[in-house]
Amino acid sequence: MSLRCSDGTVEIPRDACKLSRVLAEMADDDSTELPVGAVSTAAMSKVAEFLKHHATHPLPRFVQPVPSSDVKDALPDQPWDVDFINGIVRARAPNAALRLRRTVLTARGTQEQRRLFEVVEAAKYLDVESLTNLCACKFATMLRGRTPDQVRDAFRIRHPTAEEEKQILERSDWVRRPSSRPARGSARRTHVPAAQIYKDRRRAATATATAPPTTRRT
């Protein structure tokens, strides 16, 4: 089966889609190619690698809270998952010019951090809960033991100005008054799964193609 990404396609066995709720629903029909929105081939390749491995191997099990800044301690006796998640961060850029810029700052941290962000966003989009949790575990180890200022430095997060901080507090007054915090789920937006959008579009396209032609009255 082919997954059509924003910049190419990625091949994946049909039975490996079962760990993704979105892909599992979309693969119900006889389609040989499925659209996966704005996911890049680089991120989709890592998701596909994870799905193919865990189609025949147990899902990762985590020690919570993370015991140290080494992800290996949070995933005892699971070397494949440790190497997989560390490999995303350690992955080298495809050419020498990009390798020279591996530490250049981006909107979301370094190039290495950006790769991890892209994979977790793809995992969330495709509803691969186990991979989302694995990425979250890696982020937790990266943040463990750091002060807020150290986190900002590590992820290249700009500290808000005094005026911006004032506006944030005004918009989120419940931060200082826990008793006024919104009820859980009260302001949650409705989420429409990508698989449902895909099916609705196919249904609409089929209805349009089979609709009888209309005639004008004279």
Q: What is the pLDDT of residue 71?
A: 92
CB of 59 closer than 8 Å to CB of 128: no
Any idea what the Cα angle at residue 152 is, between residues 147 and 158, rounded to 5°? 145
What lies within 8 Å, CB to CB, of 98 at 6+ separation is 111
Q: What is the pLDDT of residue 142?
A: 87
pLDDT cut 70: percent of the chain above it:
68
Q: What are 139-181's pLDDT values in tens digits?
A: 999 888 888 888 888 777 777 888 888 887 787 766 555 554 5
Lowest mean per-residue pLDDT among 46-50, 74-78, 190-194? 190-194
Tokens of 149: 């200022």
| Burial of 143 (C-beta count, 10 Å sphere; 0-12/13-18/19+) | middle
- HSE at residue 211, side-chain half, CA atoms within 13 A, is 9
Domain boundaries, the chain: 39-159
Q: Is the dihedral of CA 83, 97, 116, 49 positive or negative?
A: negative
Question: Domain spanning 39-159 has what CATH number?
Answer: 3.30.710
pLDDT at 105 over 70: no
> d(Cα 176, Cα 126) in Å, to the nearest integer?
35
What is the pLDDT confidence band of residue 56, given thresholds at 50, 70 and 90? Answer: very high
